[in-house]
Amino acid sequence: MHWNKIQTHVIRGFFLAFFLSPLFGFSQISLDSLESKLAHFGGKILVDSTNQERLAANDSFTHYLEWALESHASYAHEFDQVKNLSALRAPNDKFRIYTWVVPLTNGSYQYNGYLYLIPRKGSPYYLKLKPEQHNTSQAMDKVLETDQWYGALYYKVLHHKRKRKHYYTLLGWHGQDATETQKLVDVLVFDAFDEPFFGYPMIQIKENEKALCRYILRYSAKAFATLRYEPRYKMIVMDNLQPTVEGAEGMYQYYGPDFTYNGLKYKKGKWIFEENIDVRNLGEN
């Protein structure tokens, strides 16, 4: 399956570059020009009045981003003008991950993403991330392929290596709906065929329980919750979340920070949960 994916994207890239460019001016359109197009349609995704308009703008945005990704030079291009796009590189330059959202008028979100890969062998290529609806609790224990993606707008990628295997921890934001927001810690890994998967059991919440594949904070859409990495302490710091009204246990639309903090500390290939940490010396966001 992995080889078929590589063939598809490599053939598509050669087709566009060598056959379509004389007809449509591919070689004459610079990444700067494509960035301007992306900035234009990215703005429309955020401010247009109707879902129909936003989704139409997203179709155009997707088209121009794919066009940009056909150029290997896009890996180094910053896309600074495109304010709605997160474009993160792995610290070891294994991949670059692009994510963005379409806010819908009912308070939900459409998630979009691409993974641009630098394989051990062969030419760089990209994969479209296809979001899938998941039960949140069950998703914490699932390994997901790129067409089962737990959609997120990623804002941090970390890299660890242990026993010749590489692990990429992703911190992301997920707007669930008009009442609930989520932030998550996910893990991206590559199998023996260099194929990517999301989720790996390395998040240890309780010592004698099975490690989770991803960790998801759930809280009110009206609240703000911290989830950030503190490199000095090799720790992911997060708000402790509690119901803000009596009797609302498990009703996450009523959860918010209680001004205490927990952490995930990287130790020997796992993220170990630490409760009620002292954040006074950890710095600010």
Q: Which helix (H) or strand (E) holds 239?
A: strand 235-243
- Give the model's confidence band at 283: pLDDT under 50 very low, under 70 low, under 90 confident, else very high: low
Number of domain units in the chain: 1
Does the residue 147 lie in any domain? yes
Q: Who wins on pLDDT, 18 or 217?
A: 217
Does the residue 285 lie in any domain? yes
Percent of the chain exceeding pLDDT 90 equals 82
State pLDDT tens for residues 271-280.
999 999 988 7
Provide the pLDDT for residue 281: 65
Does the residue 208 lie in any domain? yes
Residue 104's identity, in one-letter code, is L
Q: Who wins on pLDDT, 219 or 11?
A: 219
Does the residue 4 lie in any domain? no
Residue 46's identity, in one-letter code, is L
Least Cα distance to 284 among 222, 199, 226 occurs for: 226
Does the residue 29 lie in any domain? no
- Give the model's confidence band at 121: pLDDT under 50 very low, under 70 low, under 90 confident, else very high: confident
Treating both helix axes as pointing N-terminal to C-terminal, what angle do 51-69 and 31-47 enclose, rounded to 10 degrees?
A: 160
Question: Which H, E and C letters describe 67-136, residue by residue?
Answer: HHHCCHHHHCCCCCCCCCCEEEECCCCCEEEEEEEEECCCCCEEEEEEEEECCCCCCCEEEEECECCCCH
- What is the mean pLDDT of the segment spanning 43-51? 98
Provide the pLDDT for residue 282: 64
Does the residue 85 lie in any domain? no
Does the residue 146 lie in any domain? yes
Among the ranges given (3-17, 24-38, 140-154), the one the predictor scored with the smallest mean pLDDT: 3-17
The Cα 86–Cα 99 span in angstroms is: 5
Does the residue 198 lie in any domain? yes
| Domain extent at residue 174 | 130-285
Residues 6+ apart with CB under 8 A from 216: 136, 139, 140, 174, 182, 183, 184, 185
State pLDDT tens for residues 62-95.
999 999 999 999 999 999 999 999 999 999 999 9
